[in-house]
């Protein structure tokens, strides 16, 4: 999954999933900055992260090491699985 600046995504951290936006992402997809409303993993509104596991789309916060999963939302009218 290739992410781009301004993509709408779903971010899961500590069992909680919230809608978010990709504010910045490096060309090699290793570094990402996401924004969201509220708190997520001890971060208020934004979280810089670095790719940890490419296969599972897992990143880790560079602030506290929280593991986050980043996914694009399913298009309306489709189901997963």
pLDDT tens for each residue of 31-58: 999 999 999 888 889 999 999 988 888 9
- What pLDDT was estimated at residue 51? 94
- Beta carbons of 28 and 42 less than 8 angstroms apart: no
Confidence at residue 43, expressed as pLDDT on a 0 to 100 scale: 87
pLDDT for 80 equals 58
pLDDT at 35: 97
How confident is the model at residue 81, as a pLDDT? 53
Among residues 51, 80, 41, the alpha carbon closest in space to that of 20 is found at 41
pLDDT tens-digit readout, 7-24: 999 999 999 999 999 999
């Amino acid at each position: 999954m290739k992410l781009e600046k301004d993509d709408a995504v779903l971010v899961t951290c500590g069992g909680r999933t919230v809608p978010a936006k990709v504010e910045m992402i490096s060309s090699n997809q290793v570094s990402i900055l996401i924004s969201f409303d509220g708190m997520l993993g001890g971060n208020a509104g934004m979280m810089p992260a670095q790719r940890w596991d490419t296969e599972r789309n897992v990143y880790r916060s560079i602030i506290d090491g929280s593991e986050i999963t980043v996914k694009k939302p399913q298009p309306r009218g489709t189901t997963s699985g």
